[in-house]
């Protein structure tokens, strides 16, 4: 089992000029994004558990628990899930930021 943390950055500036502004996560958004991420998982993702939690005033963190042999395999497995969830996440004002794999 591997654990991958993914930042979910909130913004009100989607599609507008200038950098996004941080949002305070609204009540209930963690549960909503948790369900959204599960809805976009497929068997190939090998997802066992996901938790979405607030991380300061600027966003959230999604923590994925994946049945993978290595961290690199886990990152490879979670990328398509986040790609499928990109538009729905954006509709709720969030963008997923994957961690950089170790060299």
pLDDT digits (tens, 9 = 90+) for 4-60: 999 998 765 444 444 554 456 778 889 999 999 999 999 999 999 999 999 876 679
State yes or no: pLDDT of 1 exceeds 50: yes
Residue pair 92/33 in contact (Cβ under 8 Å)? The answer is yes
Residue 40 covered by a domain: yes
Residue 19 covered by a domain: no
State yes or no: pLDDT of 79 exceeds 70: yes
Q: What is the CA radius of gyration of the chain?
A: 14
The mean per-residue pLDDT over the stretch 74-85 comes to: 94
Residue 20 covered by a domain: no
At 45, which CATH number?
Answer: 3.30.70
The mean per-residue pLDDT over the stretch 66-72 comes to: 94
95 compared with 21, residue with greater pLDDT: 95
How many distinct structural domains can be found in the chain? Answer: 1
Q: What's the domain range around 74? A: 2-11+25-97
Residue 69 covered by a domain: yes
d(CA 9, CA 96): 6
Residue 92 covered by a domain: yes
pTM of the complete model beyond 0.85: no
Residue 63 covered by a domain: yes
| 100 SS3 class | coil
């Amino acid at each position: 089992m591997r654990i991958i943390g993914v930042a979910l950055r909130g913004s009100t500036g989607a599609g507008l000029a200038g950098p996004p502004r941080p949002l305070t996560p609204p009540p209930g958004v963690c549960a909503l994004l948790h369900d959204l991420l599960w809805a976009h998982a497929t068997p190939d993702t090998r997802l066992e558990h996901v938790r979405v939690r607030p991380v300061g005033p600027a966003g959230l963190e999604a923590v994925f628990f994946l049945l993978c042999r290595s961290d690199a395999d886990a990152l490879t497995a979670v990328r398509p899930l986040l790609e499928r969830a990109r538009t729905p996440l954006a509709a709720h004002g969030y963008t997923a930021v994957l961690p950089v794999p170790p060299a």
